Amino acid sequence: MLFPTLFDKHLRKPKNIIPHGGETVYYGEVFDEEDADRLYELLLRETPWRKDEWVIYNKIYLTPRKVAWYSIKRGGVPRELSKMKKLVESYTGVTYNHVLLNLYENGEIGLGWHSDKESWEENSSIASVSLGAERRFDFRHVETKETISMVLEHGSLLVMQGLLQNYWKHHLPKCKHVKHPRINLTFRK
């Protein structure tokens, strides 16, 4: 099947997994296995991956993950990313204009606790699509330190919205038993 519709009988009911301070809505697998596999292989092979750079005290550090960034409003976005964007927007009701792709080549590569600073507004929304290896994903409240963990499935959609970034941090912990890559696409405004 090429990209399910909102009326696909296999879709699960979305679930908000955060009890307070913003919303994190998990839709589960929005791409069937065949589409998810095809998109994963295509993005793994065709994306111009590069190491992300961080500058700390005038010294450049390369991150273990690889990234690619597309400005959707400027055009030049691969056709499959445009299709994915439209599907994600049909779920969220939000129009996105950028997409950040992250490649975690195995479970030894994770991402530390952080908030996405560009999305601290009340009406902000980041839609995250996961392809490839299933990985644990955690949220931690900045004051109470309450932690919520979940598994992001191959072909799934997670949306972080509202004031979530003000009250919760999130991270992708390392997991030594995961041997295969994971691609994460975050659609942003």
Condensed to tens digits (0 to 9), the pLDDT of residues 131-182 reads 999 999 999 999 999 999 999 999 999 999 988 999 999 999 999 999 999 9
Q: How confident is the model at residue 120 (pLDDT cuts 50, 70, 90)?
A: low
Handedness of CA 46, 50, 51, 55 (dihedral sign): negative
Domains annotated for the chain, with CATH where assigned, are: 15-188 (2.60.120.590)
For residue 23, give the 3-state DSSP assignment: strand
State how far the Cα of 187 lies from the Cα of 189, in Å rounded to an integer. Answer: 7
The yes-or-no verdict on residue 3 having pLDDT over 60 is no
Condensed to tens digits (0 to 9), the pLDDT of residues 35-94 reads 999 999 999 999 999 998 888 889 998 989 999 999 987 677 788 999 999 999 999 999
